[in-house]
Amino acid sequence: MNPDFCWSYYNLADVLVKLEKWEEAVNAYRRTIELNPDFCWSYYNLADVLVKLEQKEEAITAYQKAIKLAPDWEEAKQYLADTENPFLQKIANGQEEQEAREKLTTAEQLREILAIQRKSDLEKVAGRDTIKVDLNLADNDLLNTQEQYHFKTPDMQEIDEQEFESLKSEVNVLIMTATHPEISSVLELLEPYPGREKILKYFSEAETYYVGKFGAFNTVVTKCRMGSIGPGAAGFSTLDALRKVNPKATIMVGIAFGKDEKKQNIGDVLVASEIICYESKRIGEKEDIYRDGPSPSNTTLLNRFENVHHWEFNGVDNLPCKIIHGAILSGEKLVDNYDFKAQLFEDFPKAIGGEMEGAGLSSACMREGKPWILVKSICDWADGKKHSKYQPLAARAAASLIHHVLQQKTVLNGID
């Protein structure tokens, strides 16, 4: 046995999380960090557990370390912003401002320092120098402003397994999400389950499920990790949810990168006619050959999203968002490279955009024989200038379209 093998502790921590043994999981993640201080996932997962234990300040520190090791990790930034929000809200409300400012995290101090450094244009006003400070960080700063990620969270009530089991037979729709803006945009539109006053929240092993009414249908909403493979990613999370709920329709909602900013706009909603997984390929001496064919979405669900009327959602500069149907690329890479993106669309010219969870979603649904479709809105162009500025807008656009479609009481007719 090798007591210093960090992967053993990391895997042990993951198992302890599934068993909801939070304190033991914290110790295992910390041991992993001691053995390998440069593995960003250890800090990220540790932060998740610390949030559950209400140890917010330690969680913030762990998120910061994960971001330092992986500066482009948007989800970690979003969770850091969400965790820090109570401190900033206290200041915004003018309540105990000094106490709250004393508790400002290093990240908050960094935000102000960066803002001052970047926005300290001196102006002459009444014969004296005045510093003009814009406290909103630019798109590519370490952190985003809290307001950018502000979503209205509905009131919730925790339920146990027995109560969840009594309700799940009446659930028609499963909505899958992968990032904070995605699940938040759905929860904003989720209404209480019939006969209840609050959204129902159910913890099951490593997953969390929200039960309510989305449009005209009883719906379960959950969130996976980014990507299709690996613990907690779309493949396993969708499979767990399908076996837990058995819905008529499964819909993945979220954000994607666009293909052509001359023909598409931020906020345009991409509806997948099929998912193309670009990861599976044979690497040869002379050429590379993609091995898997596309996975078609459910014909009936696609038909419903091809027959949308009177949906309105305005994007950047108040431009109306469009609905675009077609093949969507899916892979494990967080694409932010112009040349790589260009090669993808050269290899798959009919594709209209790309994302990271569709391959896992389609694989899980096909394995269980369940109808599915993916609906995601363009938030960036994956061209080396990726940022999270438009993620909330895009997530809300996609959620809005799905909500509009599901408001029709007979829209799922024809799905076995």
274 and 381 inside one domain = yes
In a domain, 21, yes or no: no
Contacts with 413 (C-beta within 8 Å, 6 or more apart), sequence order: none
86 and 230 inside one domain = no
Count of structural domains, the chain: 2
**Residue keyed to tokens 């979003």:** 78
98 CB-contact burial (10 Å; exposed 0-12 / middle 13-18 / buried 19+): exposed
CB 188 within 8 A of CB 154: yes
387 and 294 inside one domain = yes
pLDDT by residue, tens only, the chain of 416 residues: 454 566 778 878 878 887 888 999 999 999 989 888 888 888 988 988 998 898 888 889 888 888 888 776 767 777 777 776 655 555 455 554 555 555 555 455 555 544 544 444 334 334 434 333 333 333 333 334 334 457 888 999 999 999 999 999 999 999 999 999 999 999 999 999 999 999 999 999 989 999 999 999 999 999 999 998 888 899 999 999 999 999 999 999 999 999 999 999 999 999 999 999 998 766 666 666 666 678 999 999 999 999 999 999 999 988 999 999 999 999 988 999 999 999 999 999 999 999 999 999 999 999 999 999 999 999 999 999 887 889 999 999 999 999 999 999 999 999 97
- Domain of residue 360: give its range: 151-406
Tokens of 393: 């807008």
pLDDT for 131 equals: 33
In a domain, 15, yes or no: no
Contacts with 409 (C-beta within 8 Å, 6 or more apart), sequence order: 216
89 and 116 inside one domain = yes
99 and 173 inside one domain = no
- Write down the pTM of the prediction: 0.67
Distance CA 41, CA 35 (A): 13
91 and 133 inside one domain = yes
CA-only gyration radius of the chain, Å: 22
Say which DSSP state 170 is in: G
165 and 116 inside one domain = no
64 and 204 inside one domain = no
Other CB atoms within a 10 A radius of the CB of residue 306 amount to 11
99 and 231 inside one domain = no
Say which DSSP state 147 is in: G
Angle at 360 between CA 245 and CA 299, to 5 degrees: 75
CA distances (Å), origin 352, targets 84, 87, 317, 348: 36, 41, 22, 9
